[in-house]
Amino acid sequence: MDIKVDHVVDAKGLACPMPIVRTRKAMNDLNAGQVLELQATDKGSVADIQAWAKSTGHQFLGTQQENDVYRHYVRKSEPDEVKEEITFPHSVRNEELEGLLESSREFHILDVREPAEYAFGRVRGSRNIPLGELPQRIGELNPEDEMYIICRTGNRSNMAANLLTEKGFKNIINVVPGMSEWTGIVERDEFELKNKIKPIGGK
């Protein structure tokens, strides 16, 4: 399945260290927070991209494989890891949200991370609208709903929560710290195989 990304690096057929070198160059053109997809056939790239992300401080999201092609997803980190202060007054800890998931209460979870982050692990039943698209897609949400906003560390969800409240949403709660420390059940995309036959006229 295709995950929406900001930049694709095609390193198929290239040997080590080319996939990493190409990724490094492409990263220069990305803004912090954007997601890069590296396509490679080099088997070593599976371990290398994770090691590379670790040493450069970028966020490795995951790898999917289709036949002989690996697709690795990496999100560019902030230059100085300067964290914005979490200013939104209503928040719950991860554990409280986990508890709510066990209850019969009706509420919504909005995940404001990038689609690739969401694809590789999310809270069951959550819905994804990346922070950057939220202003345009706010009409898809109901201002009366009780809504828990989640991201990776509580920063983007903080911004989203402030934005939604400014727009008249009445019952917004920020989840801290978010998916980076989520210990509850994680749901992820089941990646389709490339050769799966699609119905005629189907999407």
C-beta of 43 vs 93, nearer to another protein: 43
Helix (H/G/I), strand (E/B), else coil: 8 = strand
> Does residue 32 belong to the site contacting another protein (CB under 8 A)?
no
Active-site hit among 8, 15, 16, 185: 16
Q: At what angle do helices 45-56 and 18-27 cross, to 10 degrees?
A: 40
Active site includes 151? no
Q: Is 100 in the site for another protein (CB under 8 A)?
A: no
Q: How far is the CB of 42 from another protein (least distance, A)?
A: 9
Applying CB under 8 A, the site for another protein has a residue count of: 15
Nearer to another protein, 11 or 173 (CB): 11
Integer Cα distance of 165 and 88 in angstroms: 9
| CB distance 118 to 111 below 8 Å | yes
Q: Can you tell me the distance from the alpha carbon of 76 to that of 28, in angstroms, rounded to the nearest whole number?
A: 10
Q: Please report how close the Cβ of residue 147 comes to another protein at its closest, in angstroms.
A: 39
Rule CB under 8 A: say whether 13 interacts with another protein.
Answer: yes
101 part of the interface to another protein, by CB under 8 A = no
Minimum CB separation from another protein for residue 22, in Å? 9
- Residues 40 to 79: which contact another protein by CB under 8 A? 48, 51-52, 55-56
Distance CA 186, CA 169 (A): 27
Task: For residue 17, state whether it binds another protein (rule: CB under 8 A).
Answer: yes
Contact between 114 and 75 under an 8 Å Cβ cutoff? The reply is: yes
Peptide bond into 177 cis (omega under 30): yes
Q: Which two three-digit tokens encode residue 51? A: 């090691």
Q: Minimum distance from CB of 80 to another protein (Å)?
A: 14
CA distance linking residue 95 with residue 183, whole number of Å: 8
Residues that bind another protein (CB under 8 A): 13-18, 20-21, 23-24, 48, 51-52, 55-56
What amino acid positions are annotated as catalytic residues?
A: 16
